[in-house]
């Protein structure tokens, strides 16, 4: 029995090539109209941009069809199409457009090609079906590629922003000779604790700090794991020859630590940052007095 030809056969490609070459002028006009409605009217792209993108798309698409490659094959023509759509999507987003609009445009391209095929009664049902399948697969693949690139970029942006947040949310400040303050804000997980500890120990060495006041007023919740990190920090500070003072333990946190049977024994604590600083000055034999009338 003769093996049935696979969908992306040369005849399918040839049908589309014929359609495109025969109706290039009409097709490009319809595609441009779609582009204008989606982009020009919304101020995302100019008319000339849409015109150029339309011609480039049609050229690249015909080149891919002429190469006759199957959809799963990595060919220069397919890569060129993918790069075209990726660049197009980036351009739209850079100008304030949405990815959703881009997807609608790709759907419009597909629709235009299908409608053009429907008007032509030369092809059999089987041939038409094969063309529809090819168009659906290639355009879905292209949209998926663009969406994946978009997601990767978003994830990278989120990572960069998270890193910036980590850097800025734990400022280590020398508020007096030999006294460092470290306000910890937000959550404290293992990676953040590691980053904070590395920075802190290096600063202790650089500034020759004697006292470190760690304020946890801004820490959302202190559970057994977080208290473990804090104890490790206190210990590391001690190994560097400095003293640690923990401040800002709110009543609810003190209650939670008690219920968890967590013993901060050995760690000097004070209720507020102000009290912590007073303790630091006391340890350094520094006296703060009012001068003149209060």
Partner 1 sequence: MSGSGERRLNVPGMHLTPLGGGALLLEPGEALDPSAPDPYMDAVLVALARHHCTRLIYDLSGSVLVDEIYYRWLERLAWACRISGAEMVAVNIPPAAAYALALRLKESPPFRCELDVDRARHS
The contact set with partner 1 (CB under 8 A) reads 197-198, 201-202, 204-205, 208, 210, 232-233, 235-236, 238-242, 266
Cβ neighbour number for residue 154 with a 10 Å cutoff:
11
The smaller minimum CB distance to partner 1, of residues 15 and 209, is found at 209
Residue 235 or 255: the one with the smaller Cβ distance to partner 1 is 235
By DSSP bridging, strand 179-186 and strand 211-219 are: parallel
Q: At its nearest, how many Å lie between partner 1 and the CB of residue 201? A: 4
**How far is it, in rounded angstroms, from Cα 89 to Cα 108?**
15
CA distance 192 to 110: 48
Separation of alpha carbons 169 and 294, rounded Å: 35
Q: Nearest distance from residue 233's CB to partner 1, in Å?
A: 7
79 vs 232 by CB, closer to partner 1? 232
Residue 263: what are its φ and ψ, rounded to 5°? -105, 115
User: Please, what is the minimum distance in Å from the beta carbon of residue 269 to partner 1?
Assistant: 16
Please count the CA atoms within 13 angstroms of the CA of 55 that sit on its side-chain side: 6
Query: Is 55 or 236 the residue whose CB approaches partner 1 more closely?
Result: 236
d(CA 65, CA 140): 16
Cβ closest to partner 1, residue 55 vs residue 284: 284
β-strand pairing of 179-186 with 173-176: antiparallel
Reduced to 3 states (helix: H, G, I; strand: E, B; else coil), residue 292 is: coil
Q: Which is nearer to partner 1, 185 or 195 (CB)?
A: 195
Residue 57 CB, nearest approach to partner 1 (Å): 55
CB of 195 to partner 1, least distance (A): 11
* CA 132 – CA 173 distance, rounded (Å): 65
Q: How far apart are CA 83 and CA 65, in angstroms?
A: 16
What minimum distance in Å lies between the beta carbon of 238 and partner 1?
A: 6
Q: What minimum distance in Å lies between the beta carbon of 202 and partner 1? A: 5
Report the residue number, 27 or 180, with the smaller CB distance to partner 1. 180
Cβ proximity of 248 and 217 under 8 Å: yes
Tokens of 105: 């445009």
Q: Decide: helix, strand or coil at residue 279.
A: helix
């Amino acid at each position: 029995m003769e093996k049935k030809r696979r969908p992306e056969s040369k005849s399918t490609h040839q049908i589309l090539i014929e359609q495109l070459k025969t109706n290039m002028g009409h097709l490009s006009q319809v595609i441009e109209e779609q582009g204008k409605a989606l982009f020009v009217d919304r101020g995302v792209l100019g008319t000339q941009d849409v015109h150029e993108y339309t011609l480039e798309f049609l050229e690249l698409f015909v080149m891919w069809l002429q190469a006759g490659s199957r959809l799963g094959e990595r060919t220069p023509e397919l890569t060129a199409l993918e790069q075209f759509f990726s660049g197009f999507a980036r351009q739209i987003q850079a100008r304030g457009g949405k990815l959703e609009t881009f997807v609608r445009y790709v759907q419009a391209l597909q629709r235009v090609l299908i409608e053009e095929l429907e008007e032509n009664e030369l092809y059999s049902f089987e041939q038409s079906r094969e063309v529809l399948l090819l168009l659906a697969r290639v355009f879905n693949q292209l949209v998926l590629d663009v969406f994946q690139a978009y997601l990767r970029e978003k994830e990278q942006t989120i990572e960069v922003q998270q890193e910036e947040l980590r850097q800025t949310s734990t400022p280590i400040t020398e508020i007096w000779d030999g006294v460092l303050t470290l306000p910890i804000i937000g959550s404290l997980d293992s990676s953040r604790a590691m980053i904070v500890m590395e920075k802190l120990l290096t600063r202790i060495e650089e500034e020759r700090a004697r006292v470190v006041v760690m304020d946890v007023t801004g820490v959302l919740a202190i559970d057994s794991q977080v208290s473990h990190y804090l104890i490790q920090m206190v210990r590391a500070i001690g190994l560097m020859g400095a003293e640690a003072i923990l401040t800002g333990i709110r009543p609810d946190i003190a209650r939670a630590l008690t219920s968890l049977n967590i013993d901060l024994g050995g760690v000097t604590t004070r209720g507020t940052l102000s009290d912590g600083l007073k303790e630091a000055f006391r340890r350094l034999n520094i006296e703060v007095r009012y001068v003149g009338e209060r």
